Amino acid sequence: MRKVVAYETRADEFPLFQKFARKFDLDIKYVDDVLTPQTAVEAKGAEAVTILGNYPVGAETFMALRDASVKYIGLRTAGYNHIDQEAAKAYGIRFSNVAYSPYCVADFATMLILMCVRKAKQILSRVEAQDFSVEGIQGREMHNLTIGIIGAGRIGSIVAKNLSGFGCNIIAHDTVERDELRGILKYVSLDELLKESDVITIHTPLFDRTYHMINQDRIAKMKDGVCIINCSRGAVVDTDALIAGIEAGKVGAAGIDVLEDEEGIFHYDRRTDILAHHQLAILRSFPNVIVTPHTAFYTDQAVSDMVEMALTSLVSFMETGKSRWEIKS
């Protein structure tokens, strides 16, 4: 029976780990903490570990894993920007990510679009205060809007299909154009998308070329009152530029599920803590901004997919020395 160490195991994941451990004949050790140079010792005697994406994995951690004889990491996330790929290569540790149900994020993004264009945060806040007036909460109708999708891949394409039922005009920008979407949306340049969209929803991975893709210059090209939705990665948006755009009235609303420097805050109970994240405090204070704590992925199907695929990948690594989901530098 092969041994795997699972770090950051959530309560909702535990029965899934048990289920797939039986399927793959695995001995799984559970560690509540994140993977660090100090907690890597917990993996001694295991060939593989699986982690989430809540903490950076750098050279010291990879060195500690190597010293514990770990060869493989199976991420239970699609994103891998928290992994120092050069350090992984230097210490001979290979890793993979997962591709979970795209419907979870696509549906969540669609929800945020609807909530923003109908001013749901303001309405709900008023109801809590027993203010049932309607002045200032007039919304817009979807069929009158142009929705721009940056990144019409696995997730963005489903967002487009979701939105097609509302009768809105859908445009998209992507490096790869899918023939299956041509009857649903129109592909345009990024500049045209920025100029024409009433709502912009972002579904692109975080790479060097997409870091701060939405910045001061690009916000300036957008329509006045534009709504920006980000369910991809926090650093795709320059948060300071977004705040400046909201304060200037250029950005009329935003739905933010991911945020720069969210690590250590999102997915944790910080109710009694003083948070030194000024951007988060500012964004939460705006009546036209919805902030959710990186929960777009969080559905029963997606969580099951993440656990199953991470373990499938590790079994493949251990049995064959390769995995179809391996991330290669």
Residues known to be catalytic: 233, 262, 294
Helix (H, G, I), strand (E, B) or coil at 230: strand
Q: Quick one: tokens of 75?
A: 């991420």
Identity at 77, one-letter amino acid code: T
How far apart are alpha carbons 301 and 89 in whole angstroms?
32
Give CA separation, 52 vs 57, 81, 233, 278, in Å.
11, 12, 15, 25
Helix (H, G, I), strand (E, B) or coil at 231: coil
How far apart are alpha carbons 117 and 252 in whole angstroms?
9
Q: Quick one: tokens of 23?
A: 């399927």
How far apart are alpha carbons 153 and 130 in whole angstroms?
43
How far apart are alpha carbons 3 and 31 in whole angstroms?
13
Query: Do the beta carbons of residue 184 and residue 166 sit within 8 Å?
Result: no
How far apart are alpha carbons 33 and 298 in whole angstroms?
20
Identity at 52, one-letter amino acid code: L
